[in-house]
Amino acid sequence: MEFPKDLKYTKEHEWVKVEGNTATVGITDYAQDSLGDVVYVELPPEGGSVTKNEPFGVVESVKAVSDLYSPLSGNVTEVNDAIIDSPEAINEDPYGDAWMIKVEIGSDDDLADLLTADEYQKFIEEEK
Amino acid sequence: MPYIPHTDKDISVILKAIGVSSLDDILGSLPAGLRVKGSLNLPKGLSEQELKSLLKGLSGKNSTVEEYTSFLGAGAYNHYIPSVVASLISRSEFYTSYTPYQPELAQGTLQAIFEYQTLVCQLTAMDVSNASLYDGASATAEAVLMARRITGRHGVVLSSALHPEYRDTVKTYLKGSGDHISEVMYCTEEGRTLPGALEGAINDNTACVVVQHPNFFGSLEDVGELARIIHEKKGLLIVVTNEAVSLGLLKPPGELGADIAVGDNQSFGNPLSYGGPHLGFMATKTEYIRQMPGRLVGQTVDKNGQTAFCLTFATREQHIRRERATSNICTNHGLCALAASIHMVSLGSKGLKTLALLNLSKAEYLKERLSSAGVKPAFTSQTFNEFTVKVEKDPDSLLKSLLKKRIMGGLSLKKFHPVLSSHLLVAATELNSREEIDRFAEELAKA
Amino acid sequence: MEANGTKGLLLNEPLIFEKSSEGRVGVEPASFDVPRADAAALIPGGLLRDGLDGFPDLSEIDTVRHYTRLSQWNFGLDSGFYPLGSCTMKYNPKVNEDIAGMTGFTRIHPYQSEDLSQGALEVMYELEAYLAEISGMDAVTLQPSAGAHGELCGLLMIAEYFKSKGRPRTKVIIPDTAHGTNPASSHLAGFKVVPVKSEGKGVLTVEAVKAAIDRETAAVMLTNPNTLGLFESHIKEIADLVHSKGGFLYCDGANLNAIMGIMKLGDLGVDVVQFNLHKTFSTPHGGGGPGSGPVGVRLVLEPYLPVPRIKKAGKKFKLVTDRPKSIGRLKAFYGNFSIMVRAYSYIRRMGGEGLKRASETAILNANYIKERLKGTYQLAFDRPCMHECVFSDKLQQADGVSTMDVAKRLIDYGYHPPTVYFPLVVPGAIMVEPTETESLETMDKFIEAMRAIAQEAKTNPELLKNAPANTRVQRVDETRAAREPVLKWTGVKK
C-alpha cells in the first residue's frame, strides 16, 4: 500500500496535495482498499463551497457507503467528472486519475493539523 | 409437539453435548424473578384436524363476494384470478425462501423480480421500478418522501380525490418530518381535480402534487395538464393508480408526465383478503434511482460470464445506510409481486387490453342500467370501472336493504366526504355478470 | 466428507419476454355479455393508451414451465436447512396455507359490512389478545405490514405521546448491535439517533445507557435477545432508568422466538414491542414478503394506536375509528390479514405449552451448534446463548479464507448459508439460528459440513474461494450490477 510523501492526510482517509493556492483532494489507497470495488461517487458542484471536517460527498462500494470529509474550507474550483462515469478509477489510481475536487485554500490554518505520510501510516496501523 | 422433531433421547443427547443437565442451567443468567410462572394463558393446542375445522367455522362466519354480488371497489378490486397463479406461487421453493441475499441460491426469485420490474415499467411507461412495496397507500407516502429528497422542498399537495386512506397514510408517514401538507379540492361537478385549482394550490416550495387516476370517485383526471402545471413550478407529479387493470386501456403515467408512478397491483393475481396483503408498486425516472426506496434487482453475470441476477443499489437501504437510508423498508411483498407477474403474463398484451375493455364495458352497462332505474352518476367526468352515483334515500339504509337481497351495493361515501352524504361508489369488474347488474338496478329501483 | 450438493436437472430458461410470440394469450378473459364499450369514443383522446410495448404474449403451458423452472433455481426452507440468523426460518406448516386459502378468508372485501365480516374480525381480535398475552403487553395493533413498518408505528406513537403532553422529545438511543431498520425507522419518525456501543461486552450496560440518556430521550430501542443471541441481562435496570427519565423502552421483537412462555417483555419493563409474524409465528417469508408486524403497547400508549381498532360489543365485533389521539393509519385497510390467519392458526395449533416448548427447543438447538462448532470457528462470545449463536472467520483468516468463502462453500454441501457480516460489531460474523423445527440429525450433518469446510480452508482454500461449484450460477458479479445497472429487460419483442 502506498502513501506518497508529498501528500498530507486526514484521519478520515482523505489525501491533500497543496500546489500554490489550490488543494487537490482524494481518498487514500487504504480507503479504497477497505471499501472494495467502488461503484458510485457523489461530488459537490463546481463553484460550491466545502467546510473543513464536514461531508462534501459520498463514495459507495457494493456493500458499503462512506462520507467524504473535507480537509479544508474553501470554494470548489474544479471537480473530477471523469470518476463519476468511471468510479473504478478510485480503486485503480487513488492518488492520480482519481483525484476528486480542487479547492481554493481559504486559510493556511486549515492545513496545520493534517498528517504527514508517516503519521498517517502509523494511524492506520493503530486503527487496525 | 407439532413441528418439533425432538425425542426425549434427542434432548438428552443435546443437553449432554452442551454440558448441562437441564435447560434451566442455560437460562440461569436470566433474572429468575421475571420468569413466567406456570404457562401462558392461551387455548390448549389442537390437532391439525381440529384446527382446520375450527378455522373452517371462523371463515364460515364471513360472507364472501362469491356468496354475495359485490359492487365494492375503492382500492380493493374483485377480479378473476387464473388457476395458474395459485398453482405456481404455491411452489414452496418460492414461498418458503427468504429475501434473495444469496444470489446463487435465489436465481428464481431474482429473475422473477427482474421480470416484475420490467412488467411494471411496461405498464407505467416509466424507466425503473422497484421490487414492490407494502401497498398503494404506503407506496404513495414513500413517493412523497422521495419527492422531498429529490427537490429539497417540503410542500406536499394532495388531491382530495385521492383515496382517503391513502391521504391518511401520507399524513402519518410525514408526522416525523413536518407535514406541510395541503389539499386541492376536487370539482364537485366533475368529480376530478381541476387544473385551475391546482395552479392556486402550489408554490415554489411545493415538492410534489399527488393525483390518483382514475381517482377515488372513479373519474379520470386530466393528468397531462396537471403535470404541466406542477412542472412549471419545478415540482414533481406523483400519479397513483390503484386499479391497475385500467392501465390496459389508459395512457400510462409515464406518457402523461408523471415523475413517480405508484399504486397498488392487487388487481393482478392477489385476492381481496380483507384488504391485505396487497401489492404496492413504485416506478420512476432513471435519474431518481438513488432516491428510490425498496429493493432493486439487477442483471449481471456470474464468474463464468453466464447471465445472473442479484440485488443491487443496496447502499440506499437501511441495512447499510441505517438512519440515512432512503426508507426503513426491509422486506417487500415479493410473493404478491410474483402472483401479479404470473397473472399479467397469463393475460399477455392482448388479454390485458381485452380485460380492461371488458371492465369499462361492464361499468358503462351498469351506469346505463342504474340511470334507467333513476340512479344517476354524481359527476360528469368519464370513468373506468368505478363511478359515483347519487341516491335518493339514505345510502346506509339502502345498502342494508340490498344486503337482504345478497347484494353488496357499493360504498357509502358519507364517512369519507361528509358532503357526499347521499352518494355511493360502485365498481363493476369482469366478475359482475349482466344478470347481476340487471338485478342490482332492479333492486335499487325497488328500494 | 464429500460435499453432498449435486447438480440436479437444471434447465436453462430465458427471460419471459424472450419467450413471447405476438398474438398468444394464456388465459383469455371472459366473453362480453354486455355491449362492447367504444373506448375511443368514451375516453378523452389524450388519455387513451396506444400500445403496450414489450408486454409478453405466452401460451399457458409456457408460462407454467417458465415459473416452474425459475422455482427450481431457488432454495427454500422446504429444500433444506436454512440457518439464517435473525430471520427465524422455522418450518412453515402446510395446514396454515390450506386455511389461509379458504374462500371465507380470501374473498372478503375490506369495505364489506362488519356484519358479514365477523369471522375475520374475531380472528383479528383474538390474535391481538394472544400476542398481548405472549408479550405481556396491554394492547396490540395488527396493522403494520412488516417488522420495519411496526417499528415506525411504535416510534410514531412514542413521538405523538410526547407531543400531546406539550413536550416533544428528540432522541432515540440505539445500541450498535441493532438491525439497520431501527435507526432508519427512528429517523423516519423524526428522531435523532444516539448510538451506544456495546463495547465488546455483548450486552448493553446500564452505565452506557446512563451516559447517553437525558430528558430529550424519547426511547431506548433494543432487541432482546439481541442480535448476538445474548439475553440483555440488564434490561430491567435499563427500563427503570429510561422510565425515571420519563422515556419509553422499545423492544424490537425480531427475536421473540427465544422467549415465548419463558419471559414476557412486559414483565421486563418493555413499553412497546413489534412482532414479526413471519419469523416467530411461522408464516412463510415468500422470497421477500409479505410479512406482518403487529405492535404491542402498554396501556399508557394505547390511545395512540393506529385506527381502526377492533372492539367487541356483546358478541359482536366492530371497527372503531373515532380515536382522537391515534397516530392515524400506516396503510389502507387493516393489515396483512391472510398472514394473520396463518399466525392465528399456528398459535392455536401450538397452544401455550407448545409455544414455550418451541422457544426452549430453539435455545437448546442453538447452544448445541455453538458447543459443537466452537474451536472450529471462533465464537464471538463464549457463554450460553439464546436462540442463535455468532461465530467469526478469525480462525480461518490465517488460511486466507473469509466468512463469505465459508458461506458460499456451505451451498455446495446443500445448505443455505447463515447470516453473514451481521451484527456489524463482530467482524466477519457468521450468525446461526437453527430454530426448533430442525432435528438433531439435521444439525449433526450441518456441523459435520462446517467442520469439513474448516478443514478444506486449511488444505484446499481454493475450493472455498471458487464456491459454490454445484449451483446453476456461480459467484455473481455484484460490482458489475452496480456499475452498469440493468434493471429491466430492454429487448425487442418477437
- All structural domains of chain C with their residue ranges: 96-349
Contacts of C478 in chain A (CB under 8 A): 62-63
Q: Domain boundaries in chain B?
A: 69-81+349-446, 83-342
Beta bridge partners of C420: C430
Say how far apart CA B62 and CA C117 lie, in whole Å.
5
Say how far apart CA C348 and CA B44 lie, in whole Å.
7
pLDDT digits (tens, 9 = 90+) for B188-224: 999 999 999 999 999 999 999 999 999 999 999 999 9
| Fold exhibited by the domain C96-349 | Aspartate Aminotransferase; domain 2 (3.40.640)
**pLDDT value for A126:** 84
Could you please report the per-residue DSSP string of C436-469?
TTS-HHHHHHHHHHHHHHHHHHHH-HHHHHT---
Residue B41 binned pLDDT confidence (cut-offs 50, 70, 90): very high
Say how far apart CA C180 and CA B319 lie, in whole Å.
4
Q: How many CB pairs under 8 A join A and C?
A: 17
Contacts of C238 in chain B (CB under 8 A): none
Identify whether the C-beta of residue B446 lies closer than 8 Å to the C-beta of residue B372: no
At a CB cut-off of 8 Å and minimum separation 6, what does B95 contact?
Answer: B89, B335, C76, C92, C97, C284, C285, C286, C287
Say how far apart CA C287 and CA B96 lie, in whole Å.
7
Q: Which of A60, A61, A66 to mutate to test the interface with B (most CBs of B within 10 A)?
A: A60
Which three-class secondary structure state does DSSP give residue B408? strand
| Fold exhibited by the domain A8-106 | OB fold (Dihydrolipoamide Acetyltransferase, E2P) (2.40.50)
CA distance B200 to chain C (A): 24
The residue of chain A with its CA nearest to that of B313 is A62
At a CB cut-off of 8 Å and minimum separation 6, what does B9 contact?
Answer: none
Contact C60 B308 (CB under 8 A): no
Contact A63 B315 (CB under 8 A): yes
CA A128 from chain centre, in angstroms, equals: 20
Beta bridge partners of C320: C309
Calculate the average pLDDT of chain B. 96
Find chains touching chain A: ≥3 CB pairs under 8 Å.
Answer: B, C
Residue type, B125: A
Say how far apart CA B406 and CA B128 lie, in whole Å.
44
Could you please report the per-residue DSSP string of C98-133?
HHHT-HHHHS--TTS-GGGBHHHHHHHHHHHHHHHH
Q: State the average pLDDT over residues B417-425.
A: 96
Would the ipTM clear 0.95, i.e. be above it?
yes
**pLDDT value for B243:** 98
Q: Which of C27, C470, C471, C477 to mutate to test the interface with B (most CBs of B within 10 A)?
A: C27
A87 touching chain C per CB within 8 A: yes
A40 touching chain B per CB within 8 A: yes
CA dihedral C168, C174, C179, C185 (to 10 degrees): 10
At a CB cut-off of 8 Å and minimum separation 6, what does B218 contact?
Answer: B73, B191, B363, B383, B384, B385, B386, B387, B388, B425, B427
Inter-helix orientation angle B395-404/B434-446, to 10°:
120
**Distances in Å between the alpha carbon of B336 and those of B126, B135, C4, C24, C338?**
21, 10, 33, 24, 12
**Distances in Å between the alpha carbon of C257 and those of A22, C85, C422, C433, C436?**
59, 12, 19, 10, 9
Strands, sheet with A101-104, edge to edge from the N-terminal-most edge strand: A8-9, A14-19, A22-27, A101-104, A74-79, A49-50
Q: Which of C397, C402, C478 to mutate to test the interface with A (most CBs of A within 10 A)?
A: C478
**Distances in Å between the alpha carbon of B173 and those of A123, C205, C303?**
44, 33, 18
Of C56, C104, C188, nearest to B348 by CB-CB distance is C56
* Nearest C-alpha neighbor of C175 from the set C199, C152, C191, C159: C199
pLDDT digits (tens, 9 = 90+) for B56-105: 999 999 999 999 999 999 999 999 999 999 999 999 999 999 999 999 99
| Fold exhibited by the domain B83-342 | Aspartate Aminotransferase; domain 2 (3.40.640)
Identify whether the C-beta of residue B92 lies closer than 8 Å to the C-beta of residue B303: no
Say how far apart CA A36 and CA B369 lie, in whole Å.
67
**pLDDT value for C184:** 95
Contacts of A63 in chain B (CB under 8 A): 314-315, 320
Burial readout A51-66 (b: 16 or more C-beta within 10 A, e: otherwise): ebeeebbbbbbbbebb
Contacts of A84 in chain C (CB under 8 A): none
pLDDT digits (tens, 9 = 90+) for A6-46: 999 999 999 999 999 999 999 999 999 989 999 999 999 99
Contacts of B115 in chain C (CB under 8 A): 15-17, 489
CA distance C427 to chain A (A): 12
Q: Domain boundaries in chain A?
A: 8-106
Say how far apart CA B53 and CA B74 lie, in whole Å.
33
**pLDDT value for B319:** 86
CA B9 from chain centre, in angstroms, equals: 49
Contacts of A62 in chain C (CB under 8 A): 478-479, 481-482
State the distance between the two ends of chain A, measured CA to CA, in whole angstroms.
14
Contacts of A40 in chain B (CB under 8 A): 290, 315
Q: Using alpha carbons only, give the angle C395, C400, C406 rounded to the nearest 5 degrees.
A: 70
Strands, sheet with B181-184, edge to edge from the N-terminal-most edge strand: B128-129, B280-284, B260-264, B236-241, B206-212, B155-159, B181-184
Cell of B296: 432493486
| Placement of cell 369499462 in the chain | B360
Contacts of C17 in chain B (CB under 8 A): 115, 118
| Placement of cell 384446527 in the chain | B51
**pLDDT value for B143:** 98
**pLDDT value for B289:** 96
Q: Which of B56, B221, B274, B353 to mutate to test the interface with C (most CBs of C within 10 A)?
A: B274
Each residue's pLDDT expressed in tens, for chain C with a length of 494 residues: 666 666 766 788 999 999 999 989 899 999 999 999 999 999 998 999 998 989 999 999 999 999 999 999 999 999 999 999 999 999 999 999 999 999 999 999 999 999 999 999 999 999 999 999 999 999 999 999 999 999 999 999 999 999 999 999 999 999 999 999 999 999 999 999 999 987 778 899 999 999 999 999 999 999 999 999 999 999 999 999 999 999 999 999 999 999 999 999 999 999 999 999 999 999 999 999 999 999 999 999 999 999 999 999 999 999 999 999 999 999 999 999 999 999 999 999 999 999 999 999 999 999 999 999 999 999 999 999 999 999 999 999 999 999 999 999 999 999 999 999 999 889 999 999 999 999 999 999 999 999 999 999 999 999 999 999 989 999 999 999 999 999 999 988 77
Contact B314 A64 (CB under 8 A): no
The residue of chain A with its CA nearest to that of B324 is A65
**Distances in Å between the alpha carbon of B249 and those of B349, C26, C249, C420, C487?**
11, 19, 51, 47, 25
DSSP H or E run through B339: helix B334-372
CA C280 from chain centre, in angstroms, equals: 9
* Nearest C-alpha neighbor of C66 from the set B351, B84, B122, B267: B84
The residue of chain B with its CA nearest to that of A65 is B315
Which three-class secondary structure state does DSSP give residue A53? coil
At a CB cut-off of 8 Å and minimum separation 6, what does A48 contact?
Answer: A75, A76
Q: State the average pLDDT over residues B50-54.
A: 98
* Nearest C-alpha neighbor of A72 from the set A34, A123, A107: A107
Of B290, B312, B320, nearest to A64 by CB-CB distance is B320
Say how far apart CA C209 and CA C232 lie, in whole Å.
13
Cell of C89: 426460518
Superfamily of structural domain B69-81+349-446: Aspartate Aminotransferase, domain 1 (3.90.1150.10)
CA dihedral C56, C62, C66, C68 (to 10 degrees): 140
pLDDT digits (tens, 9 = 90+) for A34-87: 899 999 999 999 999 999 999 999 999 887 889 999 999 999 999 999 999 999
pLDDT digits (tens, 9 = 90+) for B222-261: 999 999 999 999 999 999 999 999 999 999 999 999 999 9
The residue of chain A with its CA nearest to that of C478 is A62
Task: Check pLDDT > 80 for residue B49.
Answer: yes
CA distance C284 to chain A (A): 27
Beta strands in C224-376 (DSSP E): 248-252, 272-274, 295-297, 309-313, 316-320
Contacts of C290 in chain B (CB under 8 A): 134, 276-277, 331, 333-336
Calculate the average pLDDT of chain A. 93
Contact A62 B314 (CB under 8 A): yes
Q: Which of B149, B150, B289, B315 to mutate to test the interface with A (most CBs of A within 10 A)?
A: B315
Find chains touching chain C: ≥3 CB pairs under 8 Å.
Answer: A, B
